[in-house]
A and B are shown apart, each in its own frame.
Chain A
Amino acid sequence: MALPPPDPQFVLRGTSAAVHTLHFSCGGQEPDVPILFSGSENGFIHVWNLKTHRVDVALDGHGRKSVYCVQTMGGKDRLLSQGRDQRICTWDLAEGRTSVTDSVFTENVGFCRCSLLKVAQGRWLMAMAAKATDEVQVLELPSKTSVCTLKPEVGAKLGMPMCLKLWQLSCGSQPLLLAGYEDGSVVLWNLSMGKALSQLVCHQEPVMSFDFDSEKAKGISGSSEKVLSIWSLDEQQNLQVYKTHKLVNAGISDITIRPDKKILATAGWDHRLRIFGWKKLKPLAVLDYHTATVHCVSFSDHKNPSERLLAAGSKDHRISIWSIYSQT
């Protein structure tokens, strides 16, 4: 008999709004406490202390407009956040400061999360949906100089970009961008040429989220349908459908592959988290706690594997924290 699905290890309450994005920062050395950043619909970014399970500080920088993307740049002291106020802000949180150091006006009205890639010490590339509905713009941070703008060919009708991921095969090699579009396709872009290398229609509906494993050159995407699509990238940099996986309930809002590439988690509109083995997409667990759509799911980057966690944020205002490492 299979073990009953586990309960959350802890539930964080107090955002008083739907939670849209989560990001762990647990990599610090000992006196540093592990931290979870959450962005919620009321425009606040909460900094959760994972030792006390309490909010250390709440950041207010997006004019009370929904925050749907939070990422760290290096340590936990530099934060990047994106909100529905069409701004991407960088924060300085060192020594208790809570100030916005810089911001980019995206002029984009969608809710496509931006993607960050560290290219050198103190230099990042950031891909974001641009003002024109179907364009993606890549900037260099912190200088904010535009690297390129990726426009689909005329008549491609991809629609708005929905989700982005910058990646590179190895450190120093050519950065690439994967983007999921409104029409259900995933496109691989070459940044230096500003040209699409490959396009694959994965879904009939907009791609809500995807994650890509550059080691196995395999990605997985979800949409509002009842299906997960797994696709691969061959040597010639062509995207191909690898397989699809049927789901019981429709609607996936977030997909994340665990950093060790062994399992992945999906956040479902059916209020549930699902855990799959990454290799064969074997369903491992259904985590049922939330009482509304789960918006985001994130794995922690703690050095000690036994302390690594999974967090999910939901429309029900709660963030559930799960410890599933020991079981997988």
Chain B
Amino acid sequence: MAVFDTPQEAFGVLRPVCVQLTQAQTPENVARLQARLAAVGAAALQELQEYVLFPLRFALRAPGPRRERLAQSAVRCVSAVLAATRVRRPELLRELLSELSTCLPAPGGSGKPAPQAEELTLAAIEALHTLLHSAHGDVVLSLYQPATLPLLGFAVSSLLGLAEHEKAKQIKISALKCLQVLVLQCDCQEHRHLDADEAQQCGDLFASFLPGISITLSRVITGDIKQGHKPTVSAIRLFYLIVGLVMADAQLARVPKSREKLPAEQSRISELMVHRGPDWSKSTAEKLLLLLRKIVEFCSVHPHWKVRLELVELVQHLLQNCSQSLVDSFSHLLKALVGLVNDENPEVQKRCQEVLQGMAEQGMVAQNRALADVLSENLHSLATALPRLINAQDDTGKVSTLSLLLGYLKLLGPKVNIVLNSMSHLQRLSKALMQVLELDVTDVKIVEDRGGGSASPCGPVGSLARRSQRKYFRFFTEEKVFQLLQQVCRVLGYYGNLYLLVDHFTGLYSESGVYRKQAAMVLNELLAGAAGVGVDVLQEREVSPNVDDLKGTITSILDEYTDQANWYLVTSIDPEEISHERSVQHSKFTAHPGGACSSVLLPSPEPPTTTRTMNSNIWQICIQLEGIGCFATVLGREFRLLLLSALYPVLEKAGDKTLLISETALGTLADICEACGYDSVQSLINENSDYLVNGISLNLRQLTHQLHASQVLDTMLRHSDASLLPLVDDVIQDVLAALDQSYNHQAPAFLKVLHSVTAALDEVLPCAKLDPNSSDTEGEAPLPSHAQLAKDTMERCIHLLSDGHLRVRLQALDVLELCVTVLHPHGNHLLPLAHRAWPALVTRLISDDPLAVLRAFKVLCTLAQWCGDFLRQRFSRDVLPTLTSSLRSQAPASARAGPIYSHTLAFKLQLAVLQGLGALCQRLDMGESDLNKVADACLIYLSAKQPMKLQEAAQSVFLHLMHMDPDSTWLLLSEICCPCRYRPPHASLRPVQLPGMGRQRDEFTDNVLGLLERLRQQESTEPRAGAHRDPPP
């Protein structure tokens, strides 16, 4: 809307109001002038700048008590003029600065500004701000001469006073902004960049203000939190800008040794000037150290994230510009920076990360020994305090403490070796890690969870998503804490001298049971870090360790882990296992839980096997297993070469009875598969069966290791299929030979293996049957290898059928059954064996624990399937009488029994016998008298008083009998109950009279009728040749 574009027109318009204002200085006249100004173009106004300013300045200078309203409007008007024009005369600039400064409340004696209307103050600050922006380049620079020092000083101190004491937030912020412009650090882009000389000159000048500015600003920063974050943020910004300028390394380096002589007329001024020599900078740095510490402490925990973000900027700026002059403060600055890496605010986090990244990339630490020293000093004191902090802090505190530790390590980067090379540093650090990583070993469940050994075969590799077992630590529960510790170790491994570290922690590992688990954890992570697996760093290391070095290191750790004393630990009170582990350990010390508090000094000769000890041992094994998995990941396919020594121990543990151990071992196997490029555990086992077989064969030679060897074979078979058999054929003979030598000790373990073996053989069977020369030529042809194996196995089982321990007998029966199945195509071999097994089997059937009877009956049924002729006589002579009599004698008991009866062994036995007897009789093609015995014994179970399941089972017996001899069965049943009358076909014949006719309905009626109905159906669907009996109605 600029209407008046030429100076002449503008002059015409403005002159009357200017004159009016000069004559009568009232706010209204000022307002009138300002109103006209709006209509004047910028170029025209520039011409008339001083003319217009004159009455306004005059109004401000008006003698007498200040009329605030007038001053306020005049200042606003000046501001408006300046905003539209440029100040081109240095003198004008100086004068305006001085005049506007006086409009600020004068700093009082105590530094507190005299009271003044907020509007005026704000207007004056804004006018100053505008003034400094309207002056350009050289004009502005003319202000920064020693001669103007008093003038600047006045403005600075007035603004500082406002920033510190003013209550109004707006004024505070404006004052700080204005100050920022005044010290030539304005954020906006309009200003000319100072060259080095000019900056140096300004630096000299501002050095005089530094004490005042820095102290006041630090007070503002650490002032009442209620002032809000904006003033704090501005103050922080101003603080680092001015400090960064005055204390800049680049400037201080250029300061001449001795002070320059100023012209004589300026001698008074020169007294105000500061010479930034070494002494000055040193003492200033000391003072700044105190302020910075205060600021860092206050701001790093400031509730507002923008304050924390600004703190990051402060650190960044000072590190960038003053890394030498303020080196002593870096301890605090870096602490703040590193600590904020894990700030809850993502922006702070991000910026912090960027700054750290930038530092690392510029090699600030790597090239600055002093910084590295500061960091390593920080690290040392943190490591010293770490155990105490971890003990005392809550999990959040622990997270920040550990973040700090991690940050220092990351920042140190390759320089971390300075720390590691100092024995005391390394000791502190490692001991701290040992204490922090102490596991909680009080959980009884870990020890109680058993059954791992017989766990079902694991699925495909991918299903083992959970890679490591969740651990419980004594001093923290938060997973994040553990992750940080993990990163700490990995970063150490990434940058640190691997030999040194591994050597040190292996030392701790073998030094005492107190540290063993933690040291193993650290070693695992170190290796992962060394290989760059899962490690998050700021800068790449210069040299990565080569594969051979890693392999060498890993091999030595593996040897340590799988050493007998560290691998075979007592993990259960199962006497069967414990005796072995004990004897394996001999005199070697056992792992001893208890952590820092337990006395390491007192030697405990043979610690009692407590739950804690076992829990601790279990964890140690698990950590070592995880380590092996981790090493595999580190080496990738190269790990294949180590399978020779590593696979066997892992498989040993995969068959462990403690659930946690076997699960961990399976995880390790999955890791190995992935690393070495096997697509399943099965192919891992099959392709390395030679290594495993070798281990098994050699370990079988030693009594103490036989159990483990058999476990390994068992695990192999469990996780593989029949394709493994040819590969392990050789070693199964070894197992049998070993079994022959130690029936007493190891029978259960060996039987377990034999069970797995025969189960696998059973799988082979279908394939073997296709082999033409395997079966029919019975006898003369050599037995195929799998059958030979079954035969050898069966021979052993026969011996064990009469073992003193029930468990062994049961196992032997199971294996026997499988052997029978495998051997059935080779009758010439099976029958002699069956003959030999018979007496022992009979004893199991007629006078053993009900459990054994149950299984023996199952074996009998299987045997009957393949050698009926052989069994018929023997069964009817040796077994049947006992079976039927026991069925009869038990019947009254089950008829009376309540619902709980079905959980008893007696019931299960009755059920099994009834369920199996029918089929057995049919298979054995039993004679009539035997069938009658069976029918008699089973008849009572058709009673409705018997439990339902027994009734059903008894029915099944009769269904079988019906197939074998329908007539006599019909007769037998009809004697119990006969629903209808039979008319003789010819009148001359006597009427049919059956005992069951016309009977009252009783307990047998329902079942018998049902069976007769089934019989009728059967007869009608398959009519018999030559039968001429009256069909049942």
Residues of B606-631 whose CB lies within 8 A of A: none
Q: How far is the CB of A5 from chain B (nearest CB, A)?
A: 10
Q: Does A97 contact B (CB under 8 A)?
A: no
Q: Does B691 contact A (CB under 8 A)?
A: yes
| B691, A11: Cβ atoms closer than 8 Å | no
**Stretch from B37-45, B280-288, B692-700, B897-905 contacting the other chain:** B692-700
Tell me the bound Cα distance from A72 to B854 in angstroms: 65
| Chain A proximity mask over B678-712: 1 for CB below 8 Å, otherwise 0 | 00000000000011011001100110000000000
**Stretch from A51-59, A226-234, A245-253 contacting the other chain:** A51-59
| B691, A53: Cβ atoms closer than 8 Å | yes
Tell me the bound Cα distance from A7 to B698 in angstroms: 7
Residues of A1-25 whose CB lies within 8 A of B: 7-8, 10-11, 13-14
- CB-defined contacts of B644 to chain A, threshold 8 Å: 52-53
- CB-defined contacts of A14 to chain B, threshold 8 Å: 690
| A10, B694: Cβ atoms closer than 8 Å | yes
Tell me the bound Cα distance from A289 to B641 in angstroms: 26
Tell me the bound Cα distance from A300 to B107 in angstroms: 97
Q: How far is the CB of A306 from chain B (nearest CB, A)?
A: 15
When the two chains form the complex, which single residue of B641, B701, B702, B730 contacts A13, counting CB atoms closer than 8 Å? B730
Known: A53-B690, A53-B691, A54-B690. A11 touches B641 (CB 8 A): no
Q: How far is the CB of A13 from chain B (nearest CB, A)?
A: 6
- CB-defined contacts of B702 to chain A, threshold 8 Å: 7
| A53, B694: Cβ atoms closer than 8 Å | yes
Known: A7-B701, A7-B702, A13-B730. A51 touches B641 (CB 8 A): yes
- CB-defined contacts of A52 to chain B, threshold 8 Å: 641, 644
Q: How far is the CB of A12 from chain B (nearest CB, A)?
A: 8
- CB-defined contacts of A10 to chain B, threshold 8 Å: 694, 698
Residues of A157-200 whose CB lies within 8 A of B: none
Tell me the bound Cα distance from A54 to B690 in angstroms: 8
When the two chains form the complex, which single residue of A13, A54, A289 contacts B693, counting CB atoms closer than 8 Å? A13
Per the CB 8 Å criterion, the residue count for chain A at the interface is 12
Per the CB 8 Å criterion, the residue count for chain B at the interface is 11
- A4's nearest neighbour on chain B, judged by CB, is B702
Residues of B722-738 whose CB lies within 8 A of A: 730
- CB-defined contacts of A13 to chain B, threshold 8 Å: 690, 693-694, 730
Tell me the bound Cα distance from A53 to B702 in angstroms: 22
- CB-defined contacts of A289 to chain B, threshold 8 Å: 701
- CB-defined contacts of B690 to chain A, threshold 8 Å: 13-14, 53-54
Tell me the bound Cα distance from A283 to B320 in angstroms: 78
| Chain B proximity mask over A239-259: 1 for CB below 8 Å, otherwise 0 | 000000000000000000000
Tell me the bound Cα distance from A10 to B644 in angstroms: 10
Tell me the bound Cα distance from A10 to B698 in angstroms: 8
Tell me the bound Cα distance from A8 to B697 in angstroms: 10
- A9's nearest neighbour on chain B, judged by CB, is B698
- CB-defined contacts of B701 to chain A, threshold 8 Å: 7, 289
Tell me the bound Cα distance from A302 to B698 in angstroms: 24
Tell me the bound Cα distance from A289 to B644 in angstroms: 20
Tell me the bound Cα distance from A7 to B695 in angstroms: 11
Residues of B55-87 whose CB lies within 8 A of A: none
| A8, B698: Cβ atoms closer than 8 Å | yes
- CB-defined contacts of A317 to chain B, threshold 8 Å: 730
Q: How far is the CB of A57 from chain B (nearest CB, A)?
A: 16
Tell me the bound Cα distance from A8 to B694 in angstroms: 10
Q: How far is the CB of A6 from chain B (nearest CB, A)?
A: 10
When the two chains form the complex, which single residue of A11, A51, A53, A54 contacts B698, counting CB atoms closer than 8 Å? A11
- A10's nearest neighbour on chain B, judged by CB, is B694
Tell me the bound Cα distance from A14 to B691 in angstroms: 12
- CB-defined contacts of A51 to chain B, threshold 8 Å: 641
- B699's nearest neighbour on chain A, judged by CB, is A7
- A288's nearest neighbour on chain B, judged by CB, is B701
Tell me the bound Cα distance from A54 to B641 in angstroms: 11
Q: How far is the CB of A53 from chain B (nearest CB, A)?
A: 6
Tell me the bound Cα distance from A275 to B641 in angstroms: 31
Q: How far is the CB of B677 from chain A (nearest CB, A)?
A: 15
Q: How far is the CB of A216 from chain B (nearest CB, A)?
A: 36
Tell me the bound Cα distance from A317 to B690 in angstroms: 14
| Chain B proximity mask over A294-317: 1 for CB below 8 Å, otherwise 0 | 000000000000000000000001
Q: How far is the CB of A269 from chain B (nearest CB, A)?
A: 20
Tell me the bound Cα distance from A53 to B694 in angstroms: 10
Tell me the bound Cα distance from A317 to B644 in angstroms: 21
Tell me the bound Cα distance from A54 to B644 in angstroms: 10
Q: How far is the CB of B643 from chain A (nearest CB, A)?
A: 9
- CB-defined contacts of B641 to chain A, threshold 8 Å: 51-52
Q: How far is the CB of B741 from chain A (nearest CB, A)?
A: 13
| Chain A proximity mask over B790-814: 1 for CB below 8 Å, otherwise 0 | 0000000000000000000000000
- CB-defined contacts of B730 to chain A, threshold 8 Å: 13, 317
- A55's nearest neighbour on chain B, judged by CB, is B690
Q: How far is the CB of B640 from chain A (nearest CB, A)?
A: 8
Q: How far is the CB of B323 from chain A (nearest CB, A)?
A: 48
Tell me the bound Cα distance from A51 to B701 in angstroms: 24
Q: How far is the CB of B297 from chain A (nearest CB, A)?
A: 59
Tell me the bound Cα distance from A118 to B641 in angstroms: 36
Q: How far is the CB of A48 from chain B (nearest CB, A)?
A: 11
Interface centre among A10, A51, A54, A317 (most CB of B within 10 A): A10
Tell me the bound Cα distance from A8 to B644 in angstroms: 15
Residues of B130-145 whose CB lies within 8 A of A: none
| Chain B proximity mask over A43-72: 1 for CB below 8 Å, otherwise 0 | 000000001111000000000000000000
Tell me the bound Cα distance from A7 to B696 in angstroms: 12
Interface centre among A13, A51, A289 (most CB of B within 10 A): A13
| Chain A proximity mask over B143-179: 1 for CB below 8 Å, otherwise 0 | 0000000000000000000000000000000000000
- CB-defined contacts of A7 to chain B, threshold 8 Å: 698, 701-702
Residues of B409-468 whose CB lies within 8 A of A: none
Q: How far is the CB of A309 from chain B (nearest CB, A)?
A: 15
- CB-defined contacts of B693 to chain A, threshold 8 Å: 13
Q: How far is the CB of A268 from chain B (nearest CB, A)?
A: 19
Residues of B975-998 whose CB lies within 8 A of A: none
Tell me the bound Cα distance from A53 to B701 in angstroms: 20
10 new A-B contacts at CB < 8 Å, known A7-B702, A53-B691: A10-B694, A11-B694, A11-B697, A11-B698, A13-B690, A13-B694, A51-B641, A52-B641, A53-B694, A54-B690
5 cross-chain pairs, A with B, having the tightest CB-CB distances, nearest first: A11-B694, A7-B698, A7-B701, A10-B694, A13-B730
What are 24 A-B pairs with beta-carbon distances under 8 A?
A: A7-B698, A7-B701, A7-B702, A8-B698, A10-B694, A10-B698, A11-B694, A11-B697, A11-B698, A13-B690, A13-B693, A13-B694, A13-B730, A14-B690, A51-B641, A52-B641, A52-B644, A53-B644, A53-B690, A53-B691, A53-B694, A54-B690, A289-B701, A317-B730
Which residues of A line the B interface, CB within 8 A?
7-8, 10-11, 13-14, 51-54, 289, 317
